[in-house]
Every structure is written in C-alpha cells, then in structure tokens.
Structure 1
Amino acid sequence: MRFNHLDLNLLVALDVLLEEQNITRAAERLHMTQSATSGVLGRLRTFFEDDLLVQVGRKMQPTPYALELAKPVREVLITIRSSITTKQVFDPGTSKRHFRLVTSDYLISVLFARVIQHLQKEAPNVTFEMLGPSDNSGELLIRGEVDLMIVPERYIIEGHPSQLLFEEDHVCVVCKDNTKIGDSLSLEQYMQMGHISVGFGRTRHMSIEDWFMSQYGFNRRIEVITNDFNTLPQLVVGTERIATMHKRLAELYATYLPLRILPTPVQVPIMREYMLWHRSMDGDPMHRWIRERISQCIHNIEQNKAA
C-alpha cells in the first residue's frame, strides 16, 4: 500500500529502526539482511529528505526530525493493527489471538493462574505471554507492544483506559519459630529487624520503601533483596528477618510454610490493582471480551473467598 508515494510497509521498518538505532538489530527483527535494511533506510531518507539516523562513533542517533516522527509513526501502526488486522470474526471459541500481559508473579500466584484456567475453557486456542514489571513496562503499553498491564494505581498511564480490579492489604510475615516476636509488632521492633524486600528494574525500586521514607523519614534495614514476590516468604523461613507483603500471597504461603502473619505496626495504604490497555484496543471485540472475563473471574474468586 502506498500513500503520497510512500510505501506504508516502510513505516514498519522506520519504527523498528528508530527503536533499535542499530542496523544489525533492526535487520534481525525485520527478518532482513543488513544490506537490505540499509537500503530501506536509504529509501526513507530520500522520502523524508532527512538523514533520520546518523552514525556517531559506534552508535546511530536519531535526528531531531526523526524524534518528531517516532510517535506519529507508532500511532499509525497501532491504529492499522487495531482497526484492520484484528477485525476478524468475533468467536472466542475459535480465536487464536495471542495476548501479552504485564503482571507480577504475585498476581499470577494469587489470582491470574485461576483466571487463565477459566479462560481456557471458553477460549481454548487463545494464548498468553506474561511479562514481569520492568522500567519500560509503560513504554511497552504506549507502543502497543503489550495488550494489558495489571499494576498498582500509581502506574496508571494518562490517556489510556483503566479499570479497578481489586484492593489489597499488606501484612508482616515472620518465621513461626521466631521467638523474639509475639502476636503483635511495635514500630520500634519493626525498624530494628532485618528486612527482606523486592526490588524491580535497574533502579531496584522497592515495593513499599518509598512510602516509608515519605511518611517516617527513615529506611528499613534491608538485608536481603529479591526480584520477585514469591521468594519473600521463602526467604523468611529459618531466619529472624521480616517481610512486608501482600496479604493474599502471605495467606497462600502460610498454608504450607512455617510462617506467622502479623498486622503491620503502622497502617499501610490499601493498594489498588488496575487493568490498563492502549486506547486503540478499547473497542476491539476480542480484547473487550478478555477484559470482561478477567474482571468477572476475579470478582467470582473474591466472592467465593468471602463466602
């Protein structure tokens, strides 16, 4: 397809080139040779009358005009995908859609594993790919490279739809054999103990560390950092350390690990988990069906738990 003498297929290549800023990596993603990819870049330079990418040392850097093009090119490609390539007959029973979701291991353990079981019965050919949270998760959603994010409220992205799924409390977890701690926990005890915490991404963002700092002006004494929520309770066992974690996950692990669950010494704000998606997917029938099923499954799980 051509528009104003531009082969629209070249926009796919331009999007990849601007993201990778490297001919070799772009060629691999485009399934082209390096020479063919260089030729595509040449055609793009001719059309836009701009170098787009220039060699600076061993790296390629986008020109100011290329940076201006990056967002509208990505928006065009997302619109084409949502309005043309995904407009198939809506039939969950036969659909072979592949959905990429950003969600934490905590959510998979306490809720999403059962959600996937329910969805498999109604849409047996639909597949899923779970991606852990990272520094660029929001960018993946904005670029249309993931279908859904299920994340705490603070990660909501302005301009894209979202829906509250459920609320979660935090609790403290210690080993059942820890005799230094009774049935309650003072703030002084809490601050004196060694802590196990979760850190995500290159910045090692802590799950509740920022909140403690802003409220009380001091750090917990963190002795162990892990990169997923499921290892928190496991690392408490056999130690005198403490972990502050999601209540649902703590209750799950307390059924088969020697753990005690205690209230937090101070009230930690309720965490609200939201489902987010790119605005271009809002009206897509299959995408909407998946969102509705996820919401309904979580509601049913919560209802059965309360019963």
Structure 2
Amino acid sequence: MDIRAVDLNLLVVFDAMARHRSVNRTAEAIGLSQPATSAALARLRTLFDDALFVRAGAQMEPTPRALELAPAVRRVVEAIQSEILQPAGFDPATARRSFTLLTPDIGEVAFLPGVLRRLRQEAPQVTLHAVSRPRTAAAAALEGGEADLAVGFFPDLQKAGYFQQALFKTSYACITCARNDAVGTRLTLKQYLAARHVVVRPDGREHLLDRVLEDKGWQRHVTLELSHFMSLLSLLPGTDLVATVPDDIATVVGRHVPLKRIALPFRAPQIQVQQYWHRRMQDDAANRWLRGVFYEVNRRDSGAGLPA
C-alpha cells in the first residue's frame, strides 16, 4: 500500500470506531455527519480489504483485522495529536538545549555575564556556545543553522531575510596605561595620530573608527595590531601604547588594570549594537526565549555604560 494514497483522516475515523463501536457515536465524537462517517468507513473497508466493523446487535464489532490494527492506529493518532499538532513550546526550566551565539570577543565579555546569571536561575540545563566569525560569514552561519543568534555590530545583516532588535548605542574611548606620562588626558589631533597605537581587529574586522579616519585622510602610527581585545590586559600596562576601543572594552580592561582615559580630538562615531536572527527562526519558541533574555539583560538606555 502506498502511503501517499492514504487519507490520514480515515485513521481518525478508524480509531473512533474502535473505541465507540457505533457509527452514530463515532460521528458525534469526531464532528462528522452520520453519512460522512459511513462513507469514511466504506473507504476504510476498501483500503484494508476487510469489513473491519460488522453489526452485532446494537454495536459494530471489530473483525480480527481491526483488532490487530487498533493499537497501532491509536499510537499514530495520539502521536499526531500530542507531538505534531501541538503548538510549539519551550520550557527553559526543563530544557536541555545548546544555543550557538555569534559574537566577537567584546560580546563575550560584555553580554554573556548577565545572560549566564539568568540561565543559572531560569534554565540551568541550557548551555551557550559563543563563536566568532568575520562579518561577511555571519549570514551564512545564521542561514545554515550554524548559529542561532548574532549579537553585536553586524552591518552585513541589515538586509532582507533577517530580523534585528536594537540593544544600545555606544562609542569609542581612548585608553593607555595609567603610568604613561608621555600623554596627558587630552591630545591634539597631531599628537593623537603620532602616538604609538595598538589596534585590535577581531577576525580582521574593520571598525567604524577606521572608516572615519580614512575618510578624513588621517593615519595613525600603528605599532601593534591584535586579533583579541583581551590581549590589552597584558600589553598596555607599563607601556606608552594607546588604544582606541569600544567603550565597553575600555570599561572591562579598566576593571583589571589601571588605565588613563584620553579625550579624543575628534567626534567618535556611534556604534549601534543589535541582535540579529534569520527569518526561519522568527517563530521558533526556543529562539524567541533566547532573544528575550538577551534583550532584557543587555538593553541599555541612551548614554548608559556597561553594567557592573
């Protein structure tokens, strides 16, 4: 028998007949008219080449073939009702689920601490896997299911097929070792460009700041280029290096090593930090819950800095 030729609605009629042993009661139970139920029973008899249910007094008694089929049909109907037709749900308290988050290392230090505290309280068996990809690879990671959510600055995802939600705006801060006497708390543009800069470009990413300087024709004296912001923890102390980094990074580094903040001699660009997801995940209950957690934990009012 070819399953493509089977109307699954007939299994519902069969299951009801096996339980109620009456055309009338079956019709009432499944919301069909009596003629429609009788017609469905006739189709079932043709499909299985068996009478299936025969009248015996006031009831329709099952044939041996019907008795053989009844448990399997019951399991199929129950599975469809309980597993396929139920609305999608997600219970974080009991879920054993791993989510992959696409974010640069700045996201790992800025976004994850608060989220992990929430997971410990609400979803103790849920795990997170943070990965970093070049901006140009972010779309493929989300489209292919390699990542569930992207959080950070991803201008390449501002296109059709993606949803986005703003978390906060931030800017840049210029920092150096607190004992660096070569520079004060303010620099002229000439002094700023001539200073010994350490530049961080995770995965080769270009920063908005790079574009601003390039558009104005300003070129910094770059002494060192890095791939990870957290390397600044060991490289800034005891040196005359300066670094212009997103404000959250300056805050995190300043919690571990003594820093001096230097006022920039130009207006720094604003960075719009958002979370992004592919449209195929829009209605997924688990992804919707994850987005809600990230939004509630990391959303900030304008001008607010990284929470303690």
Please report the TM-score for the alignment, with normalisation by the length of structure 1: 0.65
Q: Secondary structure at the match of 2:92?
A: coil
Tell me if the contact between 1:209 and 1:220 (Cα under 8 Å) persists in the aligned partners.
no
Question: 1:158 maps to which residue?
Answer: 159
Distance, in Å, in 2 between the alignment partners of 1:304 and 1:136 is 29
Partner AA of 1:121 in structure 2:
Q
Q: Percent identity?
A: 26
Counterpart CA distance in 1 for 2:245 and 2:295 is: 23
Measure, in 1, the Cα distance between the counterparts of 2:118 and 2:255. 24
CA RMSD after TM alignment: 3.0
- 1:286 aligned residue: 286
Q: CA deviation at 1:300?
A: 7.5
**Cα distance, 1:190 vs structure 2:** 0.7
Asked whether the equivalents of residues 248 and 305 of structure 2 are also in contact (C-alpha less than 8 Å), the reply is no
Q: Which residue of 2 aligns with 1:180?
A: 182
| 2:212–2:269 CA contact under 8 A, matched in 1 | no
> Any idea what the Cα deviations from partners look like across 1:173-231, whole Å, max 9, x if unmatched?
01111112112121111100111111233xx3343453234331132221111111122
> Aligned pair count?
225
d(CA) in 2 for partners of 1:213, 1:262: 17
SS, match of residue 188 in structure 1:
helix
Structure 1 match to 2:81: none
1:197 is aligned to 2:199: yes
> Which of residues 165, 169, 172 is equivalent to 1:170?
172
**CA deviation string 1:245-283 (max 9, x = no partner):** 122221232233121012222111110111001101101
Q: How does 1:53-132 map to 2 (within 5 A)?
A: 89-132=89-132
Distance of 1:304 and 1:193 partners within structure 2: 27
Q: CA deviation at 1:306?
A: 7.8
- Residues 175, 250 of structure 2: 8 Å contact kept: yes
Q: Is the 8 Å Cα contact of residues 99 and 129 (structure 2) preserved in structure 1? A: yes
Alpha carbons of structure 1 residues 304 and 192: separation in structure 2 relative to 1, 3 Å: closer
Instruction: List runs of 5+ in structure 2 lacking aligned partners.
Output: 5-83
Q: Counterpart amino acid of 1:138?
A: A
In 2, the alpha carbon distance for the partners of 1:290 and 1:241 equals 39
Deviation >6 Å, runs of 4+: 300-307
Change (3 A) 1:150 1:143: same
TM-score by length of 2: 0.65
Answer whether contact 2:89 2:285 (CA < 8 A) is retained.
no
